[in-house]
Amino acid sequence: MHSHQDHDVAAALKACRQHFLFALCFESCVNVLLLAYPIFMFQVYDRVIAAKSWETLVALLIGFTIAIAAKGIFQWVRGTLLIRASARIERRLADRVFKVVVRKSASGTGPANAQLLRDLDSFRQFVTGKGAMAALDMPWGFLFLGILFLLDPAIGITAGICIAVSAGATVANAILTKRALIKANVVGNASQQFSEAATRSAEAVVGLGMLNAVIGRWRNERNKAIQEQLIASGRGVVFSSFLGSARIFMQGGLMAVGVIQVINGEIPFGIVFASIFVFGFAMKPVDQLISAWEDYHPVKDAMRRIDTVLKQSPEPTTTLHLPRPAGTITCQDVTFVPPGSDRAVLKRISFGVRAGESLGLVGLNGSGKTTLARILTGSLRPTGGAVRIDGAELDQWSNHEFGRFVGYLPQSISLLPGTVAENIGRFGMYSDDEIIDAAKRARVHDVILRLPKGYETSLDDSSVLSGGQRQLIALARAIIGNPALVVLDEPNSNLDGPGEEALIACMHELKERGTTVILITHRPNLVMHLDHAAVLKEGTLVSFGSTTDVFKQLGRPTIVKKVGQARD
């Protein structure tokens, strides 16, 4: 099994070194064959025209055609190698990056957007596109300059000065625009994140009449980014205009020097035209460097972000496959302090529930219930203490295996784009029979059959389902596969009376199957159907025991009576 270092950015680039090496070889062939045109022109001027030889012209044309055809083939092979390098980087990093994005979003320790995936695309496209071409062609710029010196020292010196001026202008532009580009990238990301957050909260934004205010805030953030981009672009326009005019002047100057040498009898006239083309070849790496420079700093920042996140989120090295747990769960001194905060959301939480038993966890909003749910399902790691199932800490299972043993219905219902069946079956993890069985146990099978396409109804359009229907489908997804532990976080928040009855019946059936059920709610009425109850207050477990005893402590005799009735 690969260690997590094998998935870092440097390791991904190292894995593509053969692609880049062979691409360099074929690029060398391409650059050598570029000389076919100036050689052809020189021979035409100095031999064909002077001798008026048709045979020589035909021979030169045949050789020139073969050279250009070979150049095209070598360019195609070089491009294919870079495409395969891009695909290899994608295979080595994409799944890993996506997994980190999802995990960080689930744990609340990272952005809930795909910025890292956009970073990966930018990095991959740069290192196998503009960046690769600039690096592959750079040595050939010096070689073509050397050829100009061999053709004529005066022409070579003139070309060297022209290239030095272009390179100096590139460096000056980089220094002038670097800070503005970095700032524009940072501010632009902030604007993008705000727009994504506003989109996710669109219903509240429109319903509360906040649209104009939100647009004003977004416009303020965007204006800052645009301002920095305009500064950088303005400097770039000045640079591009200067270099465009300078390029024409350089070619004219080079031709003037060549003509002087012809007049002085130092070189034949054909060399002047050949030198113009070779000078263009020598300038190509500078042009590619200029083109790549605009993307370099954003890509460098993207690569740094990817590398940092991957190194901070190593892949688990567990190779031992533990057996399916019975469902006994224990929390021992579980404490959680959010990153960047000094305030504990959970404080030394300790309790235990035996396999097949049920626990109702109640508390006011902000008491830490959802945080505890995330810890119990492994999406959040405790800062201190440990959570164990059948004596083993959660990280001793891989996420894939653990997910088959544990069902989770989060407070925020999150069905993914796809069909109803795909969502319930966790996108291929379970069979059709298991999907239908889970829907029946969640009492949502008949509801699904009434949808336009039944189980094949697409959930891309959120208007297809009501909030209660979405919650019951999410419940079916949580209980599929007969899990050992099911954690339900506010599972009745969108349910009406019949829906709540279906939820209670489902929990009773889970208990009959021997599944451990943990119900998290701020409404105690559902807890009366469970074996145990616990009360959280400001992150502290203030009461734990049998449901009857806990509700006696809370002074709720009416509910205690209902508990007895529910159990009789």
Domain residue extents for the chain:
4-312, 329-567
Domain at 329-567: CATH architecture: 3-Layer(aba) Sandwich (3.40)
Do 318 and 394 touch, CB atoms closer than 8 A? no
Residues linked to residue 407 through DSSP beta bridges, in sequence order: 486
Packing angle of the helix pair 130-151, 115-127 (nearest 10 deg) = 20
- Residue 361 and residue 334: Cα distance in Å, rounded? 15
Tokens at 410, concatenated: 């989060």
Backbone phi, then psi, for 143, in 5-degree steps?
-65, -45
Do 329 and 349 touch, CB atoms closer than 8 A? no
pTM of the model: 0.69
Residue type, 391: G
- Residue 358 and residue 487: Cα distance in Å, rounded? 10
- Residue 539 and residue 547: Cα distance in Å, rounded? 20
- Residue 219 and residue 128: Cα distance in Å, rounded? 35
> Taking Cα atoms as reference points, which of 520, 195, 190, 215 lies closest to residue 377?
520
Backbone phi, then psi, for 341, in 5-degree steps?
-120, 155
Tokens at 403, concatenated: 């997910």
- Residue 244 and residue 86: Cα distance in Å, rounded? 32
> Taking Cα atoms as reference points, which of 544, 105, 548, 488 lies closest to residue 331?
544
> Taking Cα atoms as reference points, which of 230, 198, 223 lies closest to residue 212?
198
Residue 568, H or E segment: none
Do 133 and 20 touch, CB atoms closer than 8 A? no
4-312 and 329-567 agree in CATH topology = no
N-to-C CA span, the chain:
54
- pLDDT value at position 560? 39
- pLDDT value at position 121? 85
What is the distance, to the nearest Å, from the Cα of residue 261 to the centroid of all Cα atoms in its chain? 58
Tokens at 458, concatenated: 């697409």
- Residue 239 and residue 232: Cα distance in Å, rounded? 11
- Residue 124 and residue 84: Cα distance in Å, rounded? 11
> Taking Cα atoms as reference points, which of 420, 390, 416, 412 lies closest to residue 402?
390
Backbone phi, then psi, for 431, in 5-degree steps?
-80, 170
- Residue 455 and residue 446: Cα distance in Å, rounded? 10
Residue 122's CB is within 10 A of a number of other CB atoms, namely: 17
Burial of 138 (0-12, 13-18, 19+ CB in 10 A): middle
- Residue 316 and residue 408: Cα distance in Å, rounded? 21
Residue 58, H or E segment: helix 54-107
Residue 359's CB is within 10 A of a number of other CB atoms, namely: 22
Cβ density class 423-443: b for 16+ within 10 Å, e for less: bbbbeeebeeebbbbbbebbb
Do 71 and 35 touch, CB atoms closer than 8 A? no
- Residue 482 and residue 338: Cα distance in Å, rounded? 33
Residue type, 288: Q
H helices of 268-391, where? 269-312, 369-376
Do 255 and 272 touch, CB atoms closer than 8 A? yes
Residues linked to residue 419 through DSSP beta bridges, in sequence order: 458
- Residue 30 and residue 231: Cα distance in Å, rounded? 38
Tokens at 322, concatenated: 């533990």
Q: Which residue has the tokens 């632009």?
A: 188
Beta-carbon contacts of residue 504 (< 8 Å; ≥ 6 apart): 526, 529
Write out residues in the chain with pLDDT < 50, as ranges: 1-6, 112, 558-568
* CATH match for 4-312 among 3.40.50.2000, 1.20.1560.10, 2.40.170.20, 1.10.3720.10: 1.20.1560.10
- pLDDT value at position 4? 44
